[in-house]
Amino acid sequence: MADSRSTTGQRRYTRRRLLTTAGRGVIAAGALFTQGAITRPSTAAPPAVNIGGLYPVTGSFGQIGQGCVNAARLAVRMVNDGGGIKALGGAPLNLILSDVQSDPTVVRTEADRLITSYKLSAIHGCYASALTLIASEVAERGKVPLLTGSSTDQLNQGGRRYTFTPFARASQFAKAILQMSKLISSQPKVAVVFENTAFGTATSKGLQDQAAGEGVNIVMFEPYSAGFTDASPLINKVKASGAGM
Give the angle subtended at the CA of 161 by the CAs of 157 and 167, to the nearest 5°: 65
Third-level CATH fold of 49-164: Rossmann fold (3.40.50)
Instruction: Please write the tens of the pLDDT for every residue from 95-151.
Output: 999 999 999 999 999 999 999 999 999 999 999 999 999 999 999 999 999 999 999
Give the separation between CA 201 and CA 128, rounded to whole angstroms.
Answer: 13
Which three-class secondary structure state does DSSP give residue 165? coil
pLDDT band at 40 (very low <50, low <70, confident <90, very high): low
CB 207 within 8 A of CB 171: no
User: Chain centroid to CA 91: how far?
Assistant: 16
Between these two residues, 32 and 108, which has the higher pLDDT value? 108
Question: Which CATH code is given to the segment(s) 170-241?
Answer: 3.40.50.2300
Listed residue (125, 135, 47) closest to 93, CA to CA: 47
Q: What are phi and psi of 226, to 5 degrees?
A: -65, 135
Residue 48 DSSP code: P
pLDDT beyond 90 at 14: no
Higher model confidence: residue 6 or residue 153?
A: 153
Q: Do 191 and 174 form a contact (C-beta atoms < 8 A)?
A: no
Peptide bond into 68 cis (omega under 30): no
**Structure pTM?**
0.73
Mean pLDDT of 33-44: 53
